[in-house]
Amino acid sequence: MAKTDKTFVIKRNDLQSLFDVLIERGYAPVGPTVRDGAIVYDELRSVQDLPEGWTEDQDAGTYRLKQHDDTALFGFNNGPHSWKKYLFPPRSKLWEGEKTENGSFTVKDAEDTAKPFAFIGVRACDLHAIQVQDKVFMNEKHPDPAYVGRRNAALVIVVNCGQAAKTCFCTSMNTGPRAESGYDLALTEILDGDDHYFVAEPGSKDGFSLLAEIPHMEAGNNNIAAADSCTKRAEEQMGRNIDISDIKDLLYGNYDNERWQELEKRCLACGNCTMACPTCFCSKVEDVTDLTGDHAERWREWDSCFTMDFSYIHGGSVRPTTRSRYRQWLVHKLATWHDQFGMSGCVGCGRCITWCPVGIDLTEEVRLIRNSVKNKEVANA
């Protein structure tokens, strides 16, 4: 990070003013907090709601919350939640209708009564995940009005990573650990002895406007160096990696790889990976009526390509086996997503690894598929 006129310092004791300004402007501040043995995203009112001194131990199929040996407010990586639950809610009403006295039916779109969100503590990988979902829901030809409304109103405050979990592989996906653009305000948390502060970089007019109301000072070269060292440390701690150099050709050429059969022996088809994934967008629509038939509603809910019903058409499910459903998810995430949206559907956050109850690791599965191809080539040479 080079020293510029856009780099500032916010002291830890002045961070509460950020919350005060956001609330005064009508935003609902949302960020990390400790609840139910995990660091989750929820509405916040003050700095005291942040997970001060808490971190987590993550690995395949493992998540444990533990106390940190410092007072960092953002000394963790990712919990089970992602920001998509606010922009693309797990369950939302699309419209409702009423039967009138003359027998006709009036329909009106559901109103979104949520306040504009201010996302606090967005990691670089999750910022990329939001941008991935933008491609899906803000498509020019078929925009989703509910998503577009929430996304355009949202304020994004990034906190760059100063550490990496064992399941992180954002460097492989070129999505972190430092955010480069697409945010309103980016913060890097620095703890240097008794000195606790944030290096702040506004990324938009809203970010500059927000910073103007928060006590701050110009960053010095030592502050810039500390921020650089912070994200460098996260890069060096990266717990996983994946070779995506030829990922499309690799997966397209291995639909019948024996690895899919091995995966079927372990995968529970529970859909945890798709629920935790910050980019998965599968959903279903359900129409409901009251007992009289005078009132009807249409609801959208998250769904998963791991369920048998998701690919059901007349005559049965298109993907009746667990291996075919896992293959659909992995190939779509890493390969066919490029054809649809011009980018990968994976951002390297590692949630699918952590929250898989049997610890399936997609980075390992890709490596094993790649090795099986190499072994065949050697055997046929």
Q: 1 lies in a domain? A: no
The residue out of 237, 271, 289 marking a domain boundary is 237
**Are residues 140 and 262 part of one domain?**
no
164 in a structural domain: yes
Together in a domain, 180 and 267: no
Residue 4 scores a pLDDT above 60:
no
Q: What is the pLDDT of residue 378?
A: 78
- Mean pLDDT across the stretch 344-361? 97
User: In terms of residue numbers, what domain contains 161?
Assistant: 8-237
- Name which of 346, 349, 350 is nearest 329 in CA terms: 346
Domain closes at, from 191, 213, 237 = 237
Tokens of 192: 């240097």
pLDDT in tens, 296-336: 999 999 999 999 999 999 888 999 999 999 999 999 999 99
Out of 212, 237, 262, a domain closes at 237
* Distance, CA of 344 to CA of 332 (rounded, Å): 9
Q: What is the pLDDT of residue 5?
A: 62
Supply the pLDDT for residue 366.
Answer: 97
Q: Side chain identity at 4, as an amino acid letter? A: T
Question: 252 and 287: one domain?
Answer: yes
3-class DSSP state for residue 11?
strand
Does 54 share its domain with 146?
yes
pLDDT digits (tens, 9 = 90+) for 75-119: 999 999 999 999 999 999 999 999 988 878 899 999 998 999 999
Q: Is the domain of 66 the same as that of 140?
A: yes
Residue 242 lies in a domain: no
Dump pLDDT digits (tens) for 236-258: 999 999 999 999 999 999 999 99
In this structure, the answer to whether residues 225 and 304 fall within a common structural domain is no
DSSP 144: -
Question: Is there a domain that residue 3 lies in?
Answer: no
pLDDT at 3: 47
Kindly tell me the burial class for residue 192, based on how many C-beta atoms sit within 10 Å of its own C-beta (0-12, 13-18, 19 or more).
Answer: exposed
Quickly list H helices, 243-293: 247-252, 259-264, 272-276
- The answer to the question of residue 214 being in a domain is yes
Indicate whether 26 and 136 sit together in one domain: yes
309 shares a domain with 252: yes
* H helix runs in the chain, sequence order: 16-24, 84-87, 124-137, 145-153, 170-173, 205-212, 221-236, 247-252, 259-264, 272-276, 322-331, 337-341, 351-354, 362-380
Question: What rounded mean pLDDT belongs to the chain?
Answer: 95
